[in-house]
Amino acid sequence: MRHALWWLATLALAPLAVPLALRTRRTALRLPPAEGEVRGLAGAALPGEPFRLLLVGESTVAGVGVKHLDEALVACLAEALAERMQRPVHWHACGENGITAERARQRLLPEALSESADLALLVFGVNDTTHLTTCKRWQTALRGMAVALREQGMVVAFSAVPPLQHFRALPWLLRQLLGWRASLLDRELRAVAREQQAQYCELGLAFEAHYLAEDGYHPSALGYRVWAQGLAEHLARAC
């Protein structure tokens, strides 16, 4: 019913929303993925065997919004976990700008499964929201990745779908429609997490200007650090 209501509202507003979406796509500032190696080590001076952290996901895993992966979500999360766990954390980022969960299952999952990791964090939702991924495809992709990673002995966790209603790069009407859509996908993500006995991590980030990159769409270096601290609060217990 919730999805049906969203489609009814979107179709009714399509004469306004479609031109806005086309103009936004044409004029939006597009930032590249972060530079740097996709693997690294946090807390190298700490004792013990390194904990192995794997991130699989969309542009935020690829570090869009900052210049180097050392400033991006994966490295910030590894640093935060190393501090809480008091052991080194080896990290690996397996991300692609613009990818949906279904395509990631096809293109990124094989690479992810070739790695040995203790924890796999899946970070998806923005592109599935804007690409209008159906509920069934969204759930199937998330479930398929979670099952495959868990069968490799990894603890699986999901980061919440970001609230697109706070993305200032989008016009007001698109923010409202896409924010509503994102909340529907997040509801389905929570259900998959419960079903798969995976950790669900809320996105504890205030979407103020200094937490966003210059494109108004991706996190800034500060935004990634704050997001990582919130994730580490959830994940340190699961680890």
Chain-centre distance for alpha carbon 29: 20
* Domains of the chain (ranges, CATH numbers): 33-238 (3.40.50.1110)
Q: What is the pLDDT of residue 236?
A: 85
Contact between 224 and 59 (Cβ < 8 Å): no
**In whole angstroms, what separates CA 171 from the centre of its chain?**
22
How far apart CA 212 and CA 163 sit, in angstroms, is 13
* Cβ pair 127, 64 in contact under 8 A: no
pLDDT tens column, 27-55: 888 999 999 999 999 999 999 999 999 99
Q: How far is CA 10 from CA 58, 132, 155, 173, 180, in A?
A: 25, 11, 37, 10, 10
Residue 19: phi, psi to the nearest 5? -60, -35
The pLDDT score that the predictor gives to residue 27 is 85
Assigned token pair, 144: 């398929």
The pLDDT value recorded for residue 122 is 98
Please give the backbone phi and psi of residue 87, each rounded to the nearest 5 degrees, phi first.
Answer: -155, 160
Confidence at residue 39, expressed as pLDDT on a 0 to 100 scale = 96
Please report the pLDDT score of residue 142 as a whole number: 98
Strands annotated E in the chain:
39-42, 51-57, 89-95, 119-123, 155-159, 199-201
C-alpha–C-alpha distance, residues 145 and 224, integer Å: 24
Position 126 scores a pLDDT of 97
Which residue positions in the chain have pLDDT lower than 70?
none
pLDDT score of 208? 78
Quote the CA–CA distance of 34 and 99 in Å, as a whole number.
Answer: 16
